[in-house]
Amino acid sequence: MKTKLSFLFILFAFAAITASAQTQETKAQAPQEEKVWMPDKVIPIAEYYEGGKEAMYKFIAKEQKYPLLAKRNRVQGDCIISFTLNEDGSTSGFKILSNAGAGTGEEALRVAKLLKFKAPGFSVVGSLPIKFKL
């Protein structure tokens, strides 16, 4: 009788521990807000964007469309776009400094041209890294 009672007690304890572990995993897998990639480095141009670096990279993530050729060939990497931020907040002189290939540089250039900055009062030449990741 004592053996059966001990066996039932151990079985109940094992079931309780298993149920507890499953509920903890379920809580950990709750849907989280999608993270936007931002470089760790300080980007001087970002301080002139309305809302700062976080807002700028959220806008880039929203507007960025992965080029079909790059997606098909699984091309990933960073594209660096250089441009001049003029005194009045307009931009000019866009150049692709680094290109991951398969149309990613052109897409990064298109998105960079959509950015609207506050007027700094002087000209600033800066570069902007844009990440392409599948």
Query: Which residues are 124's β-sheet partners?
Result: 85
Fold of 44-132: TolA/TonB C-terminal domain (3.30.2420)
Return the pLDDT at 26. 47
pLDDT > 70 fraction of the chain, expressed in percent and rounded: 69
d(CA 107, CA 114): 11
pLDDT digits (tens, 9 = 90+) for 41-88: 667 788 888 888 899 999 999 999 999 999 999 999 999 999 999 999
Task: For 48, list phi and psi in degrees, rounded to 5.
Answer: -95, 0
Give this prediction's pTM: 0.66
Domain boundaries, the chain: 1-32, 44-132
90 neighbors 120 (Cβ within 8 angstroms): no
